[in-house]
Amino acid sequence: MSDDNPYGKDPTGTFFNRVQSFEIGDYPNTELVHFPKSCLHCEEPPCVPVCPTGASYKREEDGIVLVDYDKCIGCKYCSWACPYGARELDEHQKVMKKCTLCVDRIYDEALPEAERKPACVLACPTNARLFGDVHDSESEVSVTIRESGGYQLMPEWGTQPANHYLPRRKTKIKIHEDELIRADNPLKKEGLKPKTVVDEATLDDVTSW
Amino acid sequence: MHPALSVIFLTTLIGAGQGLFLALFTAQSYAAVDFVTIQNPQQFYAYGSGIALLLLIGGLLASFFHLGHPERAWRSVARWRTSWLSREVIALPAFMFFVFVYGVMHYFGWDPLVIKTEHPLQGQLSLYIGIIGTVLCFALFICTAMIYACLKFLQEWHSPLTVINYTLLGTASGFTLATAYSAMMAPELVTLFGTWATIITLTALVSRTASLLRNARIKHKSSLQTAIGVRHTNIQQKAMGLMGGSFNTREFFHGAKMGLFKSMKWIFLVLVFLVPVVLLATGMRSASIDILITAFVAQYLGLLAERWFFFAQAKHPQNLYYQTI
Protein backbone atom coordinates (compact mmCIF):
# COMPACT_ATOMS: atom_id res chain seq x y z
CA MET A 1 0.00 0.00 0.00
CA SER A 2 1.56 3.22 -1.16
CA ASP A 3 1.57 6.20 1.15
CA ASP A 4 3.54 9.05 -0.38
CA ASN A 5 4.20 12.40 1.29
CA PRO A 6 1.82 11.63 4.15
CA TYR A 7 2.84 14.88 5.83
CA GLY A 8 3.99 16.73 2.72
CA LYS A 9 2.35 19.07 0.28
CA ASP A 10 0.66 16.51 -1.97
CA PRO A 11 -0.12 13.45 0.07
CA THR A 12 -1.28 10.56 -2.07
CA GLY A 13 -1.53 6.83 -1.88
CA THR A 14 -3.69 3.78 -2.23
CA PHE A 15 -6.88 3.39 -0.28
CA PHE A 16 -9.11 0.46 0.52
CA ASN A 17 -11.70 2.59 2.16
CA ARG A 18 -12.55 6.26 2.14
CA VAL A 19 -15.10 8.25 4.03
CA GLN A 20 -16.59 11.02 1.96
CA SER A 21 -19.04 13.70 3.02
CA PHE A 22 -22.09 14.93 1.19
CA GLU A 23 -24.34 17.80 2.13
CA ILE A 24 -27.96 17.12 1.42
CA GLY A 25 -30.74 19.65 1.31
CA ASP A 26 -31.22 23.36 0.91
CA TYR A 27 -29.90 25.74 3.53
CA PRO A 28 -30.89 25.92 6.38
CA ASN A 29 -32.46 22.47 6.14
CA THR A 30 -29.26 20.63 5.39
CA GLU A 31 -27.65 17.58 6.80
CA LEU A 32 -24.25 16.05 6.29
CA VAL A 33 -24.03 12.42 5.26
CA HIS A 34 -20.74 10.68 5.87
CA PHE A 35 -20.38 8.07 3.24
CA PRO A 36 -17.84 5.25 3.59
CA LYS A 37 -16.76 3.89 0.26
CA SER A 38 -14.89 0.70 -0.52
CA CYS A 39 -15.18 -2.29 -2.84
CA LEU A 40 -18.75 -3.52 -2.75
CA HIS A 41 -17.91 -7.13 -3.69
CA CYS A 42 -20.58 -7.27 -6.37
CA GLU A 43 -22.50 -10.42 -7.15
CA GLU A 44 -21.93 -9.58 -10.82
CA PRO A 45 -18.55 -7.83 -10.67
CA PRO A 46 -17.96 -6.03 -14.00
CA CYS A 47 -14.26 -5.75 -13.15
CA VAL A 48 -13.67 -9.51 -13.19
CA PRO A 49 -14.50 -10.68 -16.75
CA VAL A 50 -12.55 -7.82 -18.34
CA CYS A 51 -9.27 -8.85 -16.71
CA PRO A 52 -7.08 -10.31 -19.46
CA THR A 53 -4.90 -12.39 -17.14
CA GLY A 54 -7.41 -13.75 -14.64
CA ALA A 55 -5.63 -11.83 -11.86
CA SER A 56 -8.95 -10.30 -10.90
CA TYR A 57 -11.30 -12.95 -9.61
CA LYS A 58 -14.34 -13.59 -7.48
CA ARG A 59 -13.93 -16.42 -5.02
CA GLU A 60 -16.37 -19.27 -5.49
CA GLU A 61 -16.65 -20.09 -1.82
CA ASP A 62 -17.44 -16.69 -0.32
CA GLY A 63 -17.86 -14.29 -3.23
CA ILE A 64 -15.02 -11.98 -2.20
CA VAL A 65 -13.56 -10.15 -5.19
CA LEU A 66 -9.77 -10.25 -5.06
CA VAL A 67 -6.69 -9.44 -7.13
CA ASP A 68 -3.82 -11.86 -7.51
CA TYR A 69 -0.94 -9.39 -7.23
CA ASP A 70 1.47 -11.84 -8.85
CA LYS A 71 -0.60 -12.14 -12.01
CA CYS A 72 -1.72 -8.52 -12.36
CA ILE A 73 -0.01 -6.73 -15.25
CA GLY A 74 -1.18 -3.28 -14.17
CA CYS A 75 -3.20 -2.50 -17.31
CA LYS A 76 -5.85 -0.61 -15.27
CA TYR A 77 -8.65 -2.01 -17.42
CA CYS A 78 -10.51 -3.37 -14.39
CA SER A 79 -10.50 0.07 -12.79
CA TRP A 80 -12.22 1.41 -15.90
CA ALA A 81 -14.74 -1.38 -15.62
CA CYS A 82 -15.73 -0.59 -12.03
CA PRO A 83 -18.46 2.08 -11.91
CA TYR A 84 -17.72 2.77 -8.25
CA GLY A 85 -14.01 3.57 -8.62
CA ALA A 86 -13.19 0.97 -6.01
CA ARG A 87 -9.95 -0.13 -7.62
CA GLU A 88 -6.72 1.83 -7.45
CA LEU A 89 -3.33 1.23 -9.01
CA ASP A 90 -0.55 1.04 -6.46
CA GLU A 91 1.98 3.54 -7.80
CA HIS A 92 4.93 1.60 -6.44
CA GLN A 93 4.00 -2.04 -6.88
CA LYS A 94 2.21 -1.19 -10.15
CA VAL A 95 -0.60 -3.64 -9.52
CA MET A 96 -4.27 -3.08 -8.88
CA LYS A 97 -5.29 -2.81 -5.24
CA LYS A 98 -8.71 -2.93 -3.70
CA CYS A 99 -10.53 -3.74 -0.50
CA THR A 100 -10.03 -7.43 0.28
CA LEU A 101 -12.76 -7.52 2.93
CA CYS A 102 -9.78 -8.32 5.21
CA VAL A 103 -9.75 -11.83 3.82
CA ASP A 104 -6.70 -12.56 5.99
CA ARG A 105 -8.52 -11.62 9.21
CA ILE A 106 -11.92 -13.17 8.68
CA TYR A 107 -10.56 -16.73 8.34
CA ASP A 108 -7.75 -16.37 10.87
CA GLU A 109 -8.35 -19.03 13.48
CA ALA A 110 -5.66 -17.55 15.69
CA LEU A 111 -8.03 -14.68 16.38
CA PRO A 112 -10.94 -14.95 18.79
CA GLU A 113 -14.12 -15.57 16.86
CA ALA A 114 -15.56 -12.15 17.64
CA GLU A 115 -12.55 -10.52 16.00
CA ARG A 116 -12.75 -12.44 12.73
CA LYS A 117 -14.21 -9.43 11.00
CA PRO A 118 -12.86 -6.77 8.64
CA ALA A 119 -10.81 -4.13 10.41
CA CYS A 120 -13.21 -1.35 9.46
CA VAL A 121 -16.12 -3.19 11.07
CA LEU A 122 -14.16 -3.64 14.30
CA ALA A 123 -12.89 -0.07 14.26
CA CYS A 124 -16.22 1.68 13.81
CA PRO A 125 -16.99 3.20 17.23
CA THR A 126 -20.74 3.30 16.68
CA ASN A 127 -21.15 -0.15 15.12
CA ALA A 128 -22.39 1.47 11.95
CA ARG A 129 -20.74 -1.26 9.90
CA LEU A 130 -22.03 -4.79 9.93
CA PHE A 131 -20.36 -7.88 8.57
CA GLY A 132 -21.86 -11.21 7.65
CA ASP A 133 -23.16 -13.53 4.98
CA VAL A 134 -25.72 -11.83 2.74
CA HIS A 135 -26.70 -15.20 1.28
CA ASP A 136 -27.77 -16.52 4.68
CA SER A 137 -31.22 -15.01 5.01
CA GLU A 138 -31.18 -15.20 8.80
CA SER A 139 -27.77 -13.60 9.29
CA GLU A 140 -27.54 -10.28 11.08
CA VAL A 141 -26.76 -8.45 7.86
CA SER A 142 -29.57 -10.07 5.89
CA VAL A 143 -32.10 -9.31 8.59
CA THR A 144 -30.89 -5.72 8.82
CA ILE A 145 -30.95 -5.23 5.06
CA ARG A 146 -34.45 -6.72 4.94
CA GLU A 147 -35.94 -4.92 7.88
CA SER A 148 -34.15 -1.59 7.76
CA GLY A 149 -34.39 -0.95 4.04
CA GLY A 150 -30.83 -1.71 2.95
CA TYR A 151 -30.09 -0.56 -0.58
CA GLN A 152 -27.41 -0.98 -3.22
CA LEU A 153 -25.41 1.76 -4.94
CA MET A 154 -25.97 2.50 -8.63
CA PRO A 155 -28.52 -0.27 -9.13
CA GLU A 156 -28.86 0.86 -12.75
CA TRP A 157 -25.78 -1.14 -13.80
CA GLY A 158 -26.95 -4.51 -12.54
CA THR A 159 -23.77 -5.15 -10.59
CA GLN A 160 -25.74 -6.28 -7.53
CA PRO A 161 -23.25 -5.25 -4.86
CA ALA A 162 -23.13 -7.55 -1.86
CA ASN A 163 -22.37 -4.54 0.33
CA HIS A 164 -25.56 -2.71 1.11
CA TYR A 165 -26.07 0.68 2.65
CA LEU A 166 -28.66 1.39 5.29
CA PRO A 167 -30.76 4.53 5.13
CA ARG A 168 -30.03 7.12 7.78
CA ARG A 169 -31.98 6.49 10.94
CA LYS A 170 -33.45 9.50 12.66
CA THR A 171 -35.26 9.58 15.97
CA LYS A 172 -38.38 11.54 15.28
CA ILE A 173 -41.29 12.55 17.47
CA LYS A 174 -44.49 13.84 15.98
CA ILE A 175 -46.03 16.68 17.99
CA HIS A 176 -49.35 18.09 16.94
CA GLU A 177 -50.06 21.77 17.49
CA ASP A 178 -52.82 21.22 20.05
CA GLU A 179 -50.55 19.04 22.11
CA LEU A 180 -48.40 22.05 22.91
CA ILE A 181 -51.24 23.59 24.98
CA ARG A 182 -52.28 21.46 27.87
CA ALA A 183 -55.95 20.93 27.26
CA ASP A 184 -56.65 18.89 30.39
CA ASN A 185 -55.37 21.38 32.98
CA PRO A 186 -57.76 20.85 35.92
CA LEU A 187 -57.37 24.39 37.13
CA LYS A 188 -58.41 25.86 33.81
CA LYS A 189 -61.09 23.31 33.16
CA GLU A 190 -63.08 23.66 36.35
CA GLY A 191 -62.95 27.43 36.25
CA LEU A 192 -64.09 28.13 39.83
CA LYS A 193 -61.59 27.79 42.57
CA PRO A 194 -62.85 26.85 46.05
CA LYS A 195 -63.62 30.04 47.98
CA THR A 196 -62.76 30.68 51.54
CA VAL A 197 -65.84 30.70 53.82
CA VAL A 198 -65.65 33.70 56.11
CA ASP A 199 -68.44 33.17 58.73
CA GLU A 200 -67.74 29.57 59.66
CA ALA A 201 -65.19 28.41 62.09
CA THR A 202 -61.95 27.53 60.51
CA LEU A 203 -59.96 24.44 61.27
CA ASP A 204 -57.77 26.57 63.47
CA ASP A 205 -60.76 27.64 65.56
CA VAL A 206 -62.00 24.13 66.38
CA THR A 207 -58.77 22.48 67.11
CA SER A 208 -56.27 23.30 69.69
CA TRP A 209 -52.76 22.29 68.64
CA MET B 1 -11.23 9.54 -18.70
CA HIS B 2 -7.59 10.49 -18.75
CA PRO B 3 -6.22 9.99 -22.27
CA ALA B 4 -3.09 7.86 -21.95
CA LEU B 5 -0.51 8.55 -24.65
CA SER B 6 0.39 4.88 -24.82
CA VAL B 7 -3.16 3.89 -25.71
CA ILE B 8 -3.55 6.78 -28.15
CA PHE B 9 -0.43 5.68 -30.02
CA LEU B 10 -1.36 2.01 -29.81
CA THR B 11 -4.79 2.45 -31.36
CA THR B 12 -3.78 4.96 -34.02
CA LEU B 13 -0.59 3.17 -35.10
CA ILE B 14 -2.15 -0.25 -35.40
CA GLY B 15 -5.17 1.32 -37.09
CA ALA B 16 -2.94 2.82 -39.78
CA GLY B 17 -1.00 -0.45 -40.10
CA GLN B 18 -4.21 -2.45 -40.45
CA GLY B 19 -5.57 0.01 -43.00
CA LEU B 20 -2.37 -0.14 -45.02
CA PHE B 21 -2.53 -3.93 -45.11
CA LEU B 22 -6.16 -3.79 -46.20
CA ALA B 23 -5.14 -1.37 -48.96
CA LEU B 24 -2.37 -3.69 -50.17
CA PHE B 25 -4.74 -6.61 -50.21
CA THR B 26 -7.36 -4.54 -52.01
CA ALA B 27 -4.78 -3.87 -54.74
CA GLN B 28 -3.96 -7.58 -54.94
CA SER B 29 -7.64 -8.50 -55.18
CA TYR B 30 -8.16 -5.92 -57.90
CA ALA B 31 -5.15 -7.27 -59.76
CA ALA B 32 -6.52 -10.79 -59.46
CA VAL B 33 -9.62 -9.77 -61.37
CA ASP B 34 -7.66 -7.55 -63.76
CA PHE B 35 -9.08 -4.27 -62.51
CA VAL B 36 -5.54 -2.97 -62.18
CA THR B 37 -2.14 -4.03 -63.37
CA ILE B 38 0.76 -3.52 -61.05
CA GLN B 39 4.14 -3.03 -62.68
CA ASN B 40 6.28 -4.31 -59.86
CA PRO B 41 3.95 -6.20 -57.56
CA GLN B 42 6.50 -8.15 -55.54
CA GLN B 43 8.34 -5.08 -54.32
CA PHE B 44 5.15 -3.13 -53.84
CA TYR B 45 3.50 -5.71 -51.56
CA ALA B 46 6.71 -6.57 -49.74
CA TYR B 47 7.73 -3.04 -48.76
CA GLY B 48 4.12 -2.11 -48.08
CA SER B 49 3.77 -5.04 -45.70
CA GLY B 50 7.04 -3.95 -44.13
CA ILE B 51 5.65 -0.48 -43.42
CA ALA B 52 2.42 -1.96 -42.08
CA LEU B 53 4.40 -4.28 -39.84
CA LEU B 54 6.52 -1.39 -38.55
CA LEU B 55 3.36 0.52 -37.65
CA LEU B 56 1.96 -2.53 -35.87
CA ILE B 57 5.22 -3.06 -33.98
CA GLY B 58 5.19 0.62 -33.02
CA GLY B 59 1.68 0.22 -31.66
CA LEU B 60 2.62 -2.92 -29.78
CA LEU B 61 5.62 -1.18 -28.21
CA ALA B 62 3.45 1.78 -27.23
CA SER B 63 1.02 -0.58 -25.50
CA PHE B 64 3.78 -1.84 -23.21
CA PHE B 65 4.14 1.65 -21.76
CA HIS B 66 0.59 1.36 -20.54
CA LEU B 67 1.36 -1.63 -18.35
CA GLY B 68 2.60 -1.58 -14.79
CA HIS B 69 4.31 -4.91 -15.33
CA PRO B 70 5.20 -5.26 -19.03
CA GLU B 71 7.24 -8.38 -18.27
CA ARG B 72 4.02 -10.17 -17.39
CA ALA B 73 2.24 -9.14 -20.57
CA TRP B 74 2.27 -12.73 -21.86
CA ARG B 75 -0.24 -13.59 -19.14
CA SER B 76 -2.87 -11.48 -20.82
CA VAL B 77 -3.74 -14.13 -23.40
CA ALA B 78 -5.35 -16.18 -20.63
CA ARG B 79 -8.89 -14.82 -20.46
CA TRP B 80 -9.87 -14.62 -24.11
CA ARG B 81 -13.23 -16.17 -23.27
CA THR B 82 -14.39 -13.10 -21.36
CA SER B 83 -12.00 -10.23 -21.96
CA TRP B 84 -11.81 -8.17 -25.16
CA LEU B 85 -8.40 -6.96 -24.07
CA SER B 86 -7.20 -10.53 -23.96
CA ARG B 87 -8.68 -11.14 -27.40
CA GLU B 88 -6.86 -8.10 -28.74
CA VAL B 89 -3.62 -9.40 -27.27
CA ILE B 90 -4.15 -12.59 -29.29
CA ALA B 91 -5.45 -10.96 -32.47
CA LEU B 92 -2.65 -8.39 -32.76
CA PRO B 93 0.33 -10.80 -32.91
CA ALA B 94 -1.68 -13.22 -35.05
CA PHE B 95 -2.39 -10.45 -37.53
CA MET B 96 1.25 -9.29 -37.37
CA PHE B 97 2.37 -12.81 -38.13
CA PHE B 98 0.24 -12.97 -41.27
CA VAL B 99 1.39 -9.52 -42.40
CA PHE B 100 4.94 -10.73 -41.91
CA VAL B 101 4.33 -13.93 -43.88
CA TYR B 102 2.52 -11.96 -46.58
CA GLY B 103 5.44 -9.55 -46.90
CA VAL B 104 8.12 -12.24 -46.83
CA MET B 105 6.32 -14.33 -49.48
CA HIS B 106 6.23 -11.39 -51.82
CA TYR B 107 9.76 -10.26 -51.02
CA PHE B 108 11.29 -13.60 -51.89
CA GLY B 109 8.76 -14.39 -54.58
CA TRP B 110 7.56 -17.55 -52.84
CA ASP B 111 4.12 -17.69 -54.22
CA PRO B 112 3.14 -21.18 -55.33
CA LEU B 113 -0.16 -21.80 -57.03
CA VAL B 114 -2.36 -23.61 -54.55
CA ILE B 115 -5.49 -23.72 -56.68
CA LYS B 116 -5.58 -24.18 -60.41
CA THR B 117 -7.48 -21.27 -61.86
CA GLU B 118 -7.75 -19.71 -65.26
CA HIS B 119 -6.18 -16.51 -64.06
CA PRO B 120 -2.69 -17.07 -62.56
CA LEU B 121 -3.17 -14.36 -59.93
CA GLN B 122 -6.27 -16.03 -58.50
CA GLY B 123 -4.63 -19.23 -57.35
CA GLN B 124 -1.58 -17.84 -55.61
CA LEU B 125 -0.97 -18.73 -51.98
CA SER B 126 -0.36 -15.09 -51.05
CA LEU B 127 -3.94 -14.28 -51.98
CA TYR B 128 -5.22 -16.78 -49.41
CA ILE B 129 -2.71 -15.64 -46.80
CA GLY B 130 -4.05 -12.16 -47.53
CA ILE B 131 -7.63 -13.32 -46.96
CA ILE B 132 -6.70 -14.76 -43.57
CA GLY B 133 -4.83 -11.53 -42.81
CA THR B 134 -7.90 -9.50 -43.75
CA VAL B 135 -10.15 -11.56 -41.49
CA LEU B 136 -7.68 -11.13 -38.63
CA CYS B 137 -7.42 -7.44 -39.44
CA PHE B 138 -11.15 -6.92 -39.00
CA ALA B 139 -11.13 -9.15 -35.91
CA LEU B 140 -8.43 -6.88 -34.48
CA PHE B 141 -10.46 -3.74 -35.23
CA ILE B 142 -13.42 -5.29 -33.45
CA CYS B 143 -11.34 -6.43 -30.45
CA THR B 144 -9.67 -3.03 -30.06
CA ALA B 145 -12.92 -1.13 -30.25
CA MET B 146 -14.88 -3.57 -28.11
CA ILE B 147 -12.42 -3.00 -25.26
CA TYR B 148 -14.10 0.39 -24.98
CA ALA B 149 -17.53 -0.36 -26.38
CA CYS B 150 -18.19 -3.22 -23.94
CA LEU B 151 -18.00 -1.00 -20.85
CA LYS B 152 -21.68 -0.27 -20.51
CA PHE B 153 -21.50 2.47 -17.92
CA LEU B 154 -19.05 4.46 -20.04
CA GLN B 155 -22.05 5.48 -22.08
CA GLU B 156 -20.09 7.58 -24.58
CA TRP B 157 -18.26 4.41 -25.64
CA HIS B 158 -21.02 1.85 -25.24
CA SER B 159 -22.27 1.99 -28.81
CA PRO B 160 -21.75 0.12 -32.10
CA LEU B 161 -20.52 3.46 -33.44
CA THR B 162 -17.31 2.97 -31.46
CA VAL B 163 -16.50 -0.19 -33.43
CA ILE B 164 -17.51 1.42 -36.71
CA ASN B 165 -15.38 4.48 -36.02
CA TYR B 166 -12.29 2.54 -35.01
CA THR B 167 -12.58 0.42 -38.14
CA LEU B 168 -13.28 3.28 -40.55
CA LEU B 169 -10.75 5.72 -39.09
CA GLY B 170 -7.99 3.11 -39.04
CA THR B 171 -8.80 2.01 -42.57
CA ALA B 172 -8.99 5.62 -43.78
CA SER B 173 -5.54 6.48 -42.44
CA GLY B 174 -4.13 3.26 -43.90
CA PHE B 175 -5.56 3.99 -47.32
CA THR B 176 -4.25 7.57 -47.20
CA LEU B 177 -0.83 6.17 -46.35
CA ALA B 178 -1.19 3.66 -49.19
CA THR B 179 -1.92 6.53 -51.57
CA ALA B 180 1.30 8.28 -50.60
CA TYR B 181 3.20 5.00 -50.68
CA SER B 182 1.87 4.08 -54.11
CA ALA B 183 2.84 7.50 -55.44
CA MET B 184 6.41 6.42 -54.74
CA MET B 185 6.23 2.73 -55.61
CA ALA B 186 3.34 2.15 -57.96
CA PRO B 187 1.94 5.37 -59.48
CA GLU B 188 -0.72 3.38 -61.35
CA LEU B 189 -2.45 2.71 -58.02
CA VAL B 190 -2.61 6.31 -56.77
CA THR B 191 -6.09 6.91 -58.12
CA LEU B 192 -7.41 3.61 -56.77
CA PHE B 193 -6.08 4.20 -53.26
CA GLY B 194 -6.78 7.93 -53.31
CA THR B 195 -10.39 7.37 -54.29
CA TRP B 196 -10.91 4.72 -51.66
CA ALA B 197 -9.13 6.83 -49.04
CA THR B 198 -11.48 9.72 -49.82
CA ILE B 199 -14.58 7.50 -49.74
CA ILE B 200 -13.59 5.84 -46.45
CA THR B 201 -12.60 9.17 -44.88
CA LEU B 202 -15.97 10.67 -45.82
CA THR B 203 -17.82 7.59 -44.51
CA ALA B 204 -15.84 7.88 -41.29
CA LEU B 205 -16.89 11.53 -41.12
CA VAL B 206 -20.52 10.43 -41.16
CA SER B 207 -20.07 7.80 -38.44
CA ARG B 208 -17.83 9.98 -36.25
CA THR B 209 -20.29 12.87 -36.55
CA ALA B 210 -23.06 10.47 -35.62
CA SER B 211 -21.21 9.50 -32.46
CA LEU B 212 -20.47 13.16 -31.67
CA LEU B 213 -24.17 13.96 -32.00
CA ARG B 214 -25.09 10.91 -29.92
CA ASN B 215 -22.65 11.88 -27.18
CA ALA B 216 -23.71 15.50 -27.19
CA ARG B 217 -27.23 14.53 -26.16
CA ILE B 218 -26.40 11.57 -24.00
CA LYS B 219 -28.30 11.15 -20.75
CA HIS B 220 -26.18 9.69 -18.02
CA LYS B 221 -27.92 6.99 -16.04
CA SER B 222 -25.92 7.49 -12.88
CA SER B 223 -26.28 10.56 -10.72
CA LEU B 224 -25.22 11.61 -7.26
CA GLN B 225 -28.60 10.32 -6.10
CA THR B 226 -27.96 6.78 -7.31
CA ALA B 227 -24.28 6.99 -6.38
CA ILE B 228 -24.95 7.47 -2.69
CA GLY B 229 -28.54 6.29 -2.61
CA VAL B 230 -30.12 9.42 -1.18
CA ARG B 231 -33.19 10.84 -2.85
CA HIS B 232 -32.85 14.58 -2.81
CA THR B 233 -32.52 17.04 -5.66
CA ASN B 234 -29.82 19.02 -3.93
CA ILE B 235 -26.76 16.99 -2.96
CA GLN B 236 -23.31 18.52 -2.81
CA GLN B 237 -20.09 16.80 -2.05
CA LYS B 238 -18.19 18.43 0.77
CA ALA B 239 -15.22 16.08 1.09
CA MET B 240 -13.84 13.30 -1.11
CA GLY B 241 -11.86 11.70 1.68
CA LEU B 242 -8.45 12.85 0.50
CA MET B 243 -6.73 16.11 -0.25
CA GLY B 244 -3.68 15.44 -2.40
CA GLY B 245 -5.23 13.51 -5.29
CA SER B 246 -5.25 9.80 -5.88
CA PHE B 247 -5.56 7.24 -8.65
CA ASN B 248 -9.27 8.07 -8.79
CA THR B 249 -8.64 11.74 -9.46
CA ARG B 250 -5.80 11.13 -11.92
CA GLU B 251 -7.07 8.24 -14.04
CA PHE B 252 -10.65 9.29 -14.63
CA PHE B 253 -10.40 13.04 -15.30
CA HIS B 254 -8.77 14.46 -18.42
CA GLY B 255 -7.67 17.53 -16.50
CA ALA B 256 -7.62 19.76 -19.57
CA LYS B 257 -9.17 23.20 -19.67
CA MET B 258 -12.63 23.36 -21.20
CA GLY B 259 -11.32 25.51 -24.06
CA LEU B 260 -8.70 22.94 -25.04
CA PHE B 261 -11.21 20.12 -24.73
CA LYS B 262 -13.70 21.83 -27.01
CA SER B 263 -11.11 22.97 -29.54
CA MET B 264 -9.70 19.44 -29.75
CA LYS B 265 -12.95 18.37 -31.38
CA TRP B 266 -12.61 20.96 -34.16
CA ILE B 267 -8.90 20.26 -34.52
CA PHE B 268 -9.54 16.60 -35.20
CA LEU B 269 -12.54 17.26 -37.45
CA VAL B 270 -10.38 19.50 -39.63
CA LEU B 271 -7.23 17.35 -39.58
CA VAL B 272 -8.81 13.93 -39.94
CA PHE B 273 -11.45 14.76 -42.51
CA LEU B 274 -11.19 18.15 -44.22
CA VAL B 275 -7.42 18.48 -44.77
CA PRO B 276 -6.79 14.92 -46.06
CA VAL B 277 -9.77 14.99 -48.42
CA VAL B 278 -8.56 18.28 -49.96
CA LEU B 279 -4.94 17.14 -50.06
CA LEU B 280 -5.86 13.76 -51.52
CA ALA B 281 -7.82 15.44 -54.29
CA THR B 282 -4.98 17.83 -55.16
CA GLY B 283 -2.32 15.17 -54.64
CA MET B 284 -4.05 12.72 -56.95
CA ARG B 285 -4.40 15.33 -59.66
CA SER B 286 -0.80 16.50 -59.48
CA ALA B 287 0.61 13.08 -58.47
CA SER B 288 2.68 14.91 -55.91
CA ILE B 289 4.28 12.63 -53.34
CA ASP B 290 4.82 15.51 -50.91
CA ILE B 291 1.16 16.50 -50.87
CA LEU B 292 0.06 12.92 -50.37
CA ILE B 293 2.53 12.38 -47.53
CA THR B 294 1.29 15.61 -45.96
CA ALA B 295 -2.26 14.25 -46.27
CA PHE B 296 -1.30 11.16 -44.28
CA VAL B 297 0.70 13.07 -41.67
CA ALA B 298 -2.18 15.53 -41.19
CA GLN B 299 -4.68 12.70 -40.89
CA TYR B 300 -2.49 10.80 -38.44
CA LEU B 301 -1.98 13.87 -36.25
CA GLY B 302 -5.71 14.45 -36.45
CA LEU B 303 -6.32 10.88 -35.33
CA LEU B 304 -4.10 11.47 -32.29
CA ALA B 305 -6.39 14.39 -31.43
CA GLU B 306 -9.46 12.28 -32.23
CA ARG B 307 -8.33 9.53 -29.87
CA TRP B 308 -7.50 12.07 -27.18
CA PHE B 309 -10.98 13.49 -27.49
CA PHE B 310 -12.51 10.01 -27.52
CA PHE B 311 -10.98 9.27 -24.11
CA ALA B 312 -11.45 12.71 -22.63
CA GLN B 313 -15.10 12.83 -23.58
CA ALA B 314 -16.05 9.65 -21.72
CA LYS B 315 -17.44 10.42 -18.28
CA HIS B 316 -16.84 7.63 -15.81
CA PRO B 317 -19.56 7.31 -13.16
CA GLN B 318 -16.92 7.07 -10.43
CA ASN B 319 -16.25 10.77 -11.04
CA LEU B 320 -19.49 11.46 -9.18
CA TYR B 321 -17.64 10.54 -5.99
CA TYR B 322 -14.80 12.96 -6.69
CA GLN B 323 -16.47 16.29 -7.26
CA THR B 324 -14.65 18.37 -4.68
CA ILE B 325 -11.65 18.09 -2.39
Q: What is the mean pLDDT of residues B291-314?
A: 97
* Predicted pLDDT at A185: 61
Domain boundaries, chain B: 5-218+237-321
pLDDT at B124 over 90: no
- B5-218+237-321: which CATH topology? Formate dehydrogenase/DMSO reductase fold (1.20.1630)
pLDDT at A104 over 80: yes
Q: How far apart are CA A163 and CA A150, in angstroms?
A: 9
ipTM of the complex: 0.91
Count of beta carbons in the 10 Å neighbourhood of residue B2: 16
Distance from CA of A69 to the nearest CA of B (A): 11
Q: What is the mean pLDDT of residues A145-172?
A: 93
Mutate to test the interface with A, among B84, B246, B310 (most CBs of A within 10 A): B246
**What are the tens digits of pLDDT across the range B26-68?**
999 999 998 988 888 899 999 999 999 999 999 999 999 999 9
Cβ neighbours for A201, distance < 8 A, ≥ 6 positions apart: none
Mutate to test the interface with B, among A16, A53, A159 (most CBs of B within 10 A): A53
Chain-wide mean pLDDT for chain A? 90
* Predicted pLDDT at A197: 72
Q: What is the mean pLDDT of residues A169-197?
A: 71
pLDDT level of residue A190 (50, 70, 90 thresholds): low
Instruction: For residue B66, list chain A residues with Cβ-Cβ distance below 8 A.
Output: 75-76
* Predicted pLDDT at B122: 81
Kindly identify which residue of chain A lies nearest to residue B151, measuring between CA atoms.
Answer: A81
Strand, coil or helix: A49: coil
pLDDT at A17 over 70: yes
* Predicted pLDDT at A183: 64
Q: Do A154 and B152 touch (CB under 8 A)?
A: no
Mapping DSSP onto H, E and C, the string for A181-203 reads CCCCCHHHHHCCCCCCCCCCCCH
Looking at chain A, the whole-number percentage of residues with pLDDT higher than 70 is: 93
pLDDT at B88 over 80: yes
Question: By the CB < 8 Å criterion, does B243 face chain A?
Answer: yes
Closest CA to B251 of A133, A160, A80: A80
Distance from CA of B273 to the nearest CA of A (A): 30
Q: Which helix (H) or strand (E) holds B94?
A: helix B84-108
Residue type, B125: L
Kindly identify which residue of chain B lies nearest to residue A93, measuring between CA atoms.
Answer: B68
Q: Do B245 and A10 touch (CB under 8 A)?
A: yes
Cβ neighbours for A107, distance < 8 A, ≥ 6 positions apart: A116
Number of alpha carbons in the 13 Å side-chain half-sphere of residue A82:
29
Mutate to test the interface with A, among B6, B7, B60, B83 (most CBs of A within 10 A): B83
Distance from CA of A45 to the nearest CA of B (A): 12
Q: Do B75 and A55 touch (CB under 8 A)?
A: yes
pLDDT at A10 over 90: no
Question: By the CB < 8 Å criterion, does B223 face chain A?
Answer: no
Judge contact between A129 and A121, C-beta under 8 A: yes
The least confident of A187-191, B256-260, B288-292 is A187-191
Mutate to test the interface with A, among B1, B74, B79, B310 (most CBs of A within 10 A): B79
Q: Do B229 and A165 touch (CB under 8 A)?
A: yes
pLDDT level of residue A189 (50, 70, 90 thresholds): low
Q: What is the mean pLDDT of residues A136-150?
A: 95
Judge contact between B83 and A50, C-beta under 8 A: yes
Instruction: For residue B234, list chain A residues with Cβ-Cβ distance below 8 A.
Output: 24-26
Instruction: Give chain A's domains with CATH numbers.
Output: 3-157 (3.30.70.20), 177-206 (no CATH)
Q: Do A52 and B78 touch (CB under 8 A)?
A: yes
**Reported pTM:** 0.89
Q: Do B247 and A79 touch (CB under 8 A)?
A: yes
Distance from CA of B82 to the nearest CA of A (A): 5
Instruction: For residue A37, list chain B residues with Cβ-Cβ distance below 8 A.
Output: 241, 321
Question: By the CB < 8 Å criterion, does B245 face chain A?
Answer: yes
Instruction: For residue A51, list chain B residues with Cβ-Cβ distance below 8 A.
Output: 79, 83
The least confident of A77-91, B110-124, B177-191 is B110-124
Q: How far apart are CA B162 and CA B115, in angstroms?
A: 39
pLDDT level of residue A182 (50, 70, 90 thresholds): low
Q: Do A22 and B246 touch (CB under 8 A)?
A: no
pLDDT at B242 over 70: yes
User: Between A and B, how many residue pairs show a Cβ–Cβ distance under 8 A?
Assistant: 171
End-to-end C-alpha distance for chain A, whole angstroms:
89
Higher-confidence residue of B16 and A173: namely B16
Bond from prior residue into B3 cis (ω within 30 degrees of 0): no
Which chain B residues in 74-113 lie under 8 Å from chain A, judged by CB atoms?
Answer: 75-79, 82-86, 89
* Predicted pLDDT at A205: 78
Q: Do A75 and B147 touch (CB under 8 A)?
A: no
pLDDT at A191 over 80: no
CA B33 to chain CA centroid, nearest Å: 29
